[in-house]
A and B are shown apart, each in its own frame.
Chain A
């Protein structure tokens, strides 16, 4: 059962416009949500996170919104060619002894069109 879902496998956006990537989750026990960016043949790179009790977090061109029930979104504005990558949404839940496990979505491939 996929607890973290990214229903759009791909997204194309014109350079300079806003990119919106969506993520849905089913487990209400998740306490943090993280977004990662991944280029081919490289490991994921952490972008931004948000606590489950917050509704917005901003870092430069990146904003994550958590305003709807079991839904969050990553906004990139303005979109740049270097943003072309696969974006993974991940949810953090407690493993044991306070350490946390990340559950990943299947990713959305973002292509920025020059």
Chain B
């Protein structure tokens, strides 16, 4: 079955640590995205990538980093510079350059601070 797999489902971070959230897709989509959701808020775009070895900052990129070494994979690192990392993180993918094409989401990773 084609889809997006995010792991782990739950993640705990100690103060000062970097943590990496995994996102893998087998939909053969060119574009991938990372969003953050906070309680009572919509999804906010952190980073996106339209093609391998290229990525761009979204609306709230500070304290985060990404890489896109393979088409299927788009890991997100939450660095110690991110002062309020507790949130629900969602990865998505879509066909590139198609107007109105929906983004397909994984089931998310919930990150909490110890």
Contact = CB atoms under 8 A, between A and B. Distances in A.
Contacts of A43: 4, 6, 90, 92, 105-108
Interface string B6-29: 100100000000000000000000
Interface residues of B, number: 30
Contacts of B101: 100
Interface of B: 4, 6, 9, 31, 35, 40-45, 48, 50, 56, 58, 90, 92, 96-97, 99-108, 110
A106 B42 contact: yes
Give the interface size bracket for A toward B. Answer: 20 to 34
A9, A32, A41, A99: which has the most chain B beta carbons within 10 Å? A99
Contacts of B103: 46, 102
Interface of A: 4, 9, 31-32, 34, 36, 41-46, 49, 51, 88, 90, 92, 95-107
B89 to A, nearest CB: 10
B51 to A, nearest CB: 9
A9 B50 CA distance: 33
Contact of B45 (A4, A32, A34, A101): A101
Contacts of A105: 42
B43 A34 contact: no
Contacts of B110: 41
A96 B50 CA distance: 10
Contacts of A107: 42
